[in-house]
Structure 1
Amino acid sequence: MDDPKGRGALASPLAALVARAAASLPTETGATAAAGAQRKNGGFTVILADVSSSMADYAGARRKCDILEDAIAPAVRDGAHVVAFGSYAKDLPAGGRLPPPAGSTALHLALRHVEAMRPRRLVVVSDGRPDDDKAALRAADQLGFVRIDVIYCGPDNDGEALRFMQRLARGGGAASAHDMAREPQSLANTLKRLAGPATI
């Protein structure tokens, strides 16, 4: 998981698909114009933070949920909003702590929860597969032109979870993987970068 080539390989198939799709479209359509307007005039960045029961597991000497909380803090200071999700979604106040890990990974409910917020960008951080991958992908589709970046921080041998993360990323976003035990600062840096101003 600490191999940069591994992370690049994860994002590159999605980037190739996006490039091919873009090449097949007109330079400007009503849809692309609307997407540009939404990204320029839309709201803030939302971080969807997985707090399912598996986030209580240890990554090295610390629990994954504690590593994630520290990693999120710089992005929150830059104005990102955090929604924690396990079996349900919960908005966190600015500076609020993540709830104790519990429950399943109802990502589809979390994606539905943020739809009304009209975020400019969404960053999903999770360590495993969702309860219902098809429902999660449908919920992501309902977000329209929102950019979705995905950070996977689970076992590097879970190919199904990695493939799902690739499918979830959209709108110019990408999927990446981080080893929480070996590179906690890299996770924080990635979150801070993705939660910053969107590049149009």
Structure 2
Amino acid sequence: MPDRDAVSWTAMIDAYVQAARFREALEMFHEMQYSNVRADEFTMVSVITACAQLGALEMGEWARIYMSRHRIKMDVFVGNELIDMYSKCGTVERALDIFKEMRIRDKFTWTAIILGLAVNGYGEEAIDMFHGMIKVLEAPDEVTFIGVLTACTHAGLVDKGQELFLCMTETYKITPNLVHYGCMIDLLGRTGKLTEALETIGQMPMTPNSTIWGGDPAGSL
């Protein structure tokens, strides 16, 4: 393929991302620049995803500068990936800045910021964000609930966690999976409610795995 355009380069970069070959995705992006082919927002989604998975904050910041210089718009997909990247790199303030800048937000935007806050220890803020999501009529999904249950774990909010677990099953009709149960058991265990944790394990409709018996459920995301 002697004459590659932005679509061709983006397809190759994304293929590496989908194969979890993130360093090679970024190397391909560098080759794209050397070939004087300008990236677009679709390219940047893949590039920022690779940065997020590698925890490559410096490269991610460069990607934002590149977007600004080339007037690539930050659509909802780019914004969501930026929130995820900054969260994974521990720079929650920047993730919040991106969230506030976004004129259009979808369910994945809210879920990304809730998860980002939760896994970085901002439990109360994540729960507040969850309630904000509900107010704008964005229906949470199973990943959103992993985020907000993780937030309850970090904040030690047993009653709130149990309330949200019930809300997930009864209000939103979401069937809990292993990660949801893992969050609840982790929450109960951390707050000294070992009997309730064991009872919850006994009530699970699936066989407990290593996540249930001693892992960090949110760490599997």
- Short-chain TM bin: under 0.3
Instruction: Return the TM-score normalized by structure 1.
Output: 0.27
Greater per-residue strand proportion: 1
Greater per-residue helix proportion: 2
Instruction: Return the TM-score normalized by structure 2.
Output: 0.25
